[in-house]
Amino acid sequence: MNGLVWINGKVGPLEQATISLHDRGYLFGDGVYELIKVYNGKAYTIPEHIKRLERSLKGVSIKVSFKTEEWISIINRLVDESGLKEAYVYIQVTRGICPRLHNFSKDLKPSIIIYVCEMSSLPNEKREDGVLAITVPDERWSHPNLKTINLLPNVLAKQTATEVGAHEALFVDAEGNVREGASSNIFAVFGDTLVTPPTDGKILPGVTRQVIMKICKKNKIYIKEECIQYKSLLLANEAFISSTGSEIIGVVKLDGKVIGDGKPGSITKKIFALYMQDIYDSATNNDKEEKNE
């Protein structure tokens, strides 16, 4: 696995990286993380990801002295030094290293790991044909808005989907609301209106979701934040999921029931095209800024 890692200030080959067995991230899943995608050697939406990372750190009471600019500098330098063009940056911050006790000292020094690694592209057929999804009960803890490394419910949900030939598992709460996917946000098209669940503390405020909201506003695509009932989602004209890793993918079947005409719809395709244009524009602007420095 090609890649480069930064561990508490030291840089080295990814395959040689080690962590302590006493790290609370390893013992308790006591930490938070972010994943940033790299396109043509440029990390996309770094500030948005760092802002969410800082929010997650505050939410679990892990104190890191880094300023936003320091995070950005380390990430950009690591991407440049890696020489990788199509990749992802993984950031993980744990509470630190100490004997295995559930409670912790407030003086612990957090462990910070940042690595850049090759990332394979989504198969073309999934983009063109859309994917299948299933639903599972939402049995996660009450703060899915924080991006913690405690992901066992998501892992099991995703595995359940994989075992029945589906791409994603969507969490449905006790009121019948479809909240989000195990690793994605959900969108549905009803007529000419795009709907996505609100960031009410019960979903992760996805960065890709945030970009889509911006794109819709800029291009006069009507979008609203509103709870989506499971029975309503089955009647949608289109549905798609969004994430940093897979961008935007049409959902054409849910629990074996066809959504719309069973193909990624025109709104889905339009938003994906606009999203990719935003990536290109962002990289172009970054190049101009670097030349002017």
Residue 288 scores a pLDDT above 60: no
pLDDT band at 292 (very low <50, low <70, confident <90, very high): low
What pLDDT is attached to residue 66? Answer: 93
What pLDDT is attached to residue 94? Answer: 98
What pLDDT is attached to residue 121? Answer: 86
The CATH code of the domain at 124-279 is 3.20.10.10
What pLDDT is attached to residue 231? Answer: 98
Residue 45 scores a pLDDT above 70: yes
pLDDT band at 286 (very low <50, low <70, confident <90, very high): low
What pLDDT is attached to residue 285? Answer: 72
Residues 278, 289: Cα–Cα separation, whole Å: 16
**pLDDT tens digit sequence for 202-221:** 999 999 999 999 999 999 99
Residue 62 scores a pLDDT above 70: yes
Identify the active-site residue in 147, 214, 218, 257.
147
Rg (CA), the chain: 20
CA atoms within 13 A on the CB side of 255: 11
Q: Is the separation of the CB atoms in 282 and 44 below 8 Å?
A: yes
133-147: average pLDDT: 97
> Does 126 participate in catalysis according to the annotation?
no
How confident is the prediction for the chain on average, in pLDDT?
Answer: 95
Residue-range domain boundaries for the chain? 3-118, 124-279
Residue 262 scores a pLDDT above 60: yes
What pLDDT is attached to residue 44? Answer: 97
According to CATH, the topology of domain 3-118 is D-amino Acid Aminotransferase; Chain A, domain 1 (3.30.470)
What pLDDT is attached to residue 2? Answer: 83
**pLDDT tens digit sequence for 86-101:** 999 999 999 999 999 9
- The share of the chain scoring above pLDDT 70, in percent, equals 97
Spatial neighbors of 11 by CB under 8 A, at least 6 apart, are 4, 5, 78, 81
Tell me the whole-structure pTM to 2 decimals.
0.94
What pLDDT is attached to residue 287? Answer: 60
